[in-house]
Amino acid sequence: MKAFTDEEIRERKDDLAQTVIDIAKIQQEKKEVNDGFKSQLKPLENSKNILLEQIKNKAEYVTEECFKLISHEENMAGYYNSRGELIESRPIKKEERQLTVFHAQRTGTNN
């Protein structure tokens, strides 16, 4: 092993300082470029996640007007959208049950 002179040590320290400065400068440029890519990718990632969720569920979440119809014969409540499609059904709750004993027959042929 050969010992360095004081001049050689100073030169190496100067080289090290310049190398550290160059590395910091390049890392800062890299960060700025990465931030630019991240801002470009964020809306695409959001769109991708929404599409994946829709494909996975085979449907999309919407807010629309729905109508609740209660069938006392079947003891079921059904929620229908404006196109008449059944969205959800469930057993009727106690407070939804018909309170009177009288029940009119609806056959579609009576007035």
Q: SS3 for 7-42, per residue?
A: HHHHHHHHHHHHHHHHHHHHHHHHHHHHHHHHHHHH
pLDDT tens digits, one per residue of 8-34: 999 999 999 999 999 999 999 999 999
Q: Under DSSP, is residue 45 helix (H, G, I), strand (E, B) or coil?
A: helix
Burial 24-34 (b: 16+ CB within 10 A, else e): eeeeeeeeeee
Can you give the pLDDT at residue 98?
A: 73
Residue 68 has pLDDT above 70, yes or no: yes
What type of residue sits at position 66?
C
Give the pLDDT confidence score for residue 104 in this predicted structure. 59
Of 100, 90, 84, 40, which is closest to residue 70 (Cα–Cα)? 90
**Spatial separation of the C-alpha atoms in residues 14 and 23, rounded to whole Å:** 14
